[in-house]
Amino acid sequence: MSASTFHQSDNAEVYRTNTSFVSYVDLVIERARILTDNHSLLVKVFSDENTKAVLTLLDPQPGEVILDVGCGSGEITAKIHSIVSQPGPNGKTGKVIGVDKSEDMIKAASKGNSSETLEYFFCDGHELQPWLVKTGKQGTFDKVFSNAALHWMSRDPAAVVHGMFDALKPGGTMAVEFGGHMNAIGVVSGLHSILAKKGVDAKSVHPWYFPTPKQYSIILQNAGFQSPDTAYLFPRPTPLPKGSGIKGWLKTFSGHFLNALPTEQDRIDALQELEDMLKVDMYDEQEDEWTLMYVRLRIRAKKP
């Protein structure tokens, strides 16, 4: 098999290039930096109004200690830090810790953007429990947050949830948003169809976890959380960058599927076939614009 050429969503610069649509997708600060001449330019795409929804779910307060799971290149982590680093009712300042399994993202987040009260660590969300034990951080966080990351932690979602539970103090809150049931509808079925034609079992390489509110609520409660006070899906039609369109999205996010194909030419052909297939429903010829249907799960629960 030839060398893999796709799935670069853990590379901060490539992520930025193909995902200017994140401004629509996540309603948070774009998770990327433009890296030039050893300097990082923080790319801010959102007003306070645009970040209001996801931050309201978390409701960070001055003096709180918060863990961001799957922090990426750290822009929203830094925004949360700007709130909690103010002195709380007891006069103490808060702290934010971001963890991510991508060393590239952690390096991007840490460049000129870390301090005693804002730290970033390399940690796969599936390994959150042992990391907490190793660092002595079990039960030290007031809140755990995650945005647009948990759907990548598909190997064992329950292990991720148990880690978030163990991170929290009694009475602490978990507030997360990620891809939910029917996310990227049409694209996922298209990828499965393409691989089936080539004799590849797409289920064996499928990297995403898109649960219903009920499915994720059960996992939360099995881990010890109370019944969620917020749990719902919401659609978010997402315009893609005109320069890269659906191919840019596929190159960035669907490498697990594409790299299962035996040759580079197979991957190139698959991209073209997918573009032709998806164009019927997703491409606006008049505006020369692709729109992807994202569906997000927003959910919040407390630790007793």
Asked if the model's pLDDT at residue 18 lies above 90, the reply is: no
Residue 10 domain-assigned (yes or no): no
Residue 148 domain-assigned (yes or no): yes
Listed in sequence order, the residues at least 6 apart from 149 whose beta carbon sits closer than 8 Å to its beta carbon are 69, 70, 71, 72, 100, 125, 178
Residue 106 domain-assigned (yes or no): yes
- Higher-confidence residue of 171 and 44: namely 171
Residue 2 domain-assigned (yes or no): no
Predicted confidence band of residue 57 (pLDDT cuts 50, 70, 90): very high
Residue 62 domain-assigned (yes or no): yes
Asked if the model's pLDDT at residue 31 lies above 80, the reply is: no
Listed in sequence order, the residues at least 6 apart from 188 whose beta carbon sits closer than 8 Å to its beta carbon are 208
Q: Tell me which DSSP letter residue 225 carries.
A: P
Q: Quickly tell me which residue has 């750290």 as its tokens.
A: 74
Quote the radius of gyration of the chain (alpha carbons, Å): 19
Query: What is the domain range of residue 22?
Result: 15-183+209-241+291-302
Q: What is the mean pLDDT of the chain?
A: 86
DSSP strands (E only) in 24-87 = 33-36, 39-42, 65-69
Q: What is the CATH number of the domain that holds 23?
A: 3.40.50.150
State the distance between the two ends of the chain, measured CA to CA, in whole angstroms.
50
Q: What is the pLDDT of residues 236-269, one digit of tens each?
A: 899 999 889 999 999 999 999 999 999 999 999 9
Residue 3 domain-assigned (yes or no): no
Residue 115 domain-assigned (yes or no): yes
Cα–Cα distance measured from residue 31 to residue 42, given in angstroms and rounded to the nearest whole number: 9
Predicted confidence band of residue 10 (pLDDT cuts 50, 70, 90): low
Q: Could you tell me the CA-to-CA distances from 240 to 94, 126, 209, 257, 283 in Å, in that order?
A: 36, 30, 22, 20, 10
Domain count of the chain? 1
Predicted confidence band of residue 5 (pLDDT cuts 50, 70, 90): low
Residue 107 domain-assigned (yes or no): yes
- Per-residue confidence (pLDDT) for residue 55, from 0 to 100: 84
- Contact criterion met (CB below 8 Å) for 150 and 246: no
Amino acid at 300: R
Asked if the model's pLDDT at residue 109 lies above 80, the reply is: yes
Q: What is the pLDDT of residues 158-168, one digit of tens each?
A: 999 999 999 99
Mean pLDDT score, 62-81: 95
